[in-house]
């Protein structure tokens, strides 16, 4: 599939998340999908589904909610960025994790996107131990959170808070933090569910902004 053959989410029926099935996923195709408001996930061996959730989960940068207990937890950890990208991806891909979906194809894709400066990781450390982290894809002012993990309580939340602070520091106006689907876990941090059309309306401005990532 070429980027110009991807489905148009503006034409998708309301409430339908899965818009198309396709074969192998390439880095160029993945980036084209993000720019169109789509993302891919494997459904079966060699078959990827293209999704544009309705509603879509986003975390407004001004709406971040940090509880008192999370503020205390932050003091227990050290946060870095792009220092242990492969280790974070490997932890997120651990088949022992409930709901793990990252296969070798996606790991190779993330590695290729990281080499381009489009994929990034946030690492949360407890001493020398990797306690949690997240991986996401950045396109201009759009940051798509792909996956996260934790080995210690609150470690993934600490990673997400650090991500929001990075995006805010670059000038938060117009930036879009996409979390794909709303969950109670993300909702506790301020994530909201918006109609797909509202998400698509926000995309052009976000994509026109410079990347926020340090370095």
pTM for the predicted model, two decimal places: 0.94
Kindly state whether residues 84 and 29 are assigned to the same domain: no
pLDDT tens-place string over residues 15-44? 999 999 988 889 999 999 999 999 999 888
Kindly state whether residues 51 and 65 are assigned to the same domain: no
Whether 74 is covered by a domain: the verdict is yes
- State residue 165's pLDDT score: 95
Tokens found for residue 162: 């650090």
Average pLDDT, integer, range 68-87: 95
Kindly state whether residues 93 and 173 are assigned to the same domain: yes
Is 70 exceeded by the pLDDT of residue 1?
no
Query: Distance between the two ends of the chain, CA-based, in angstroms?
Result: 33
Kindly state whether residues 143 and 121 are assigned to the same domain: yes
Where helices occur in the chain by DSSP H, the ranges are 27-36, 68-74, 85-92, 104-115, 155-169, 184-187, 196-208
Kindly state whether residues 109 and 37 are assigned to the same domain: no
Kindly state whether residues 163 and 63 are assigned to the same domain: yes
* Cα distances (Å, whole numbers) of residue 83 to 87, 123, 124, 130: 9, 7, 10, 11
Q: Report d(CA 152, CA 130) in Å as an integer.
A: 9
Is 60 exceeded by the pLDDT of residue 2?
no
Kindly state whether residues 86 and 191 are assigned to the same domain: yes
Average pLDDT, integer, range 114-121: 95
Which residue segment(s) compose the domain that 27 sits in? Answer: 15-55
Q: Report d(CA 33, CA 89) in Å as an integer.
A: 20
Kindly state whether residues 39 and 132 are assigned to the same domain: no
**Domain count of the chain?**
2
Kindly state whether residues 125 and 75 are assigned to the same domain: yes
Taking phi first (over 0 means left), then psi (-120 to 50 degrees means alpha), and beta for anything else, what does residue 180 get? left
Is 70 exceeded by the pLDDT of residue 214?
no
Q: What is the per-residue DSSP string for 61-112?
A: GGG----HHHHHHHTT-EEEESSSHHHHHHHHT-TTSTT----HHHHHHHHH
- State residue 105's pLDDT score: 86
Q: How confident is the model at residue 215 (pLDDT cuts 50, 70, 90)?
A: low
């Amino acid at each position: 599939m070429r980027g110009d053959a991807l489905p148009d989410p503006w034409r998708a029926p309301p409430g339908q998340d899965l818009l198309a099935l396709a074969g192998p996923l390439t880095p160029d195709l993945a980036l084209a999908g993000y720019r169109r408001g789509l993302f891919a996930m494997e459904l079966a061996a060699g078959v990827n589904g293209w999704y544009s959730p309705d509603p879509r989960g986003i975390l407004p940068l001004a709406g971040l909610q940090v509880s008192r207990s999370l503020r205390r937890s932050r003091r227990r950890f050290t946060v870095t960025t792009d220092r242990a990208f492969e280790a974070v991806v490997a932890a997120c891909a651990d088949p022992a994790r409930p709901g793990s979906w990252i296969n070798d194809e996606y790991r190779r894709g993330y590695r290729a996107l990281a080499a381009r400066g489009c994929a990034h990781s946030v690492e949360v450390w407890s001493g020398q131990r990797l306690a949690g982290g997240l991986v996401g894809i950045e396109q201009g002012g759009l940051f798509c959170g792909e996956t996260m993990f934790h080995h210690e309580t609150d470690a993934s939340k600490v990673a997400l808070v650090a991500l929001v602070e990075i995006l805010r520091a670059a000038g938060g106006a117009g930036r879009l933090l996409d979390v794909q689907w709303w969950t109670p876990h993300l909702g506790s941090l301020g994530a909201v569910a918006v109609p797909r059309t509202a998400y698509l309306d926000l995309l052009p401005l976000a994509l026109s902004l410079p990347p926020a990532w340090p370095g």
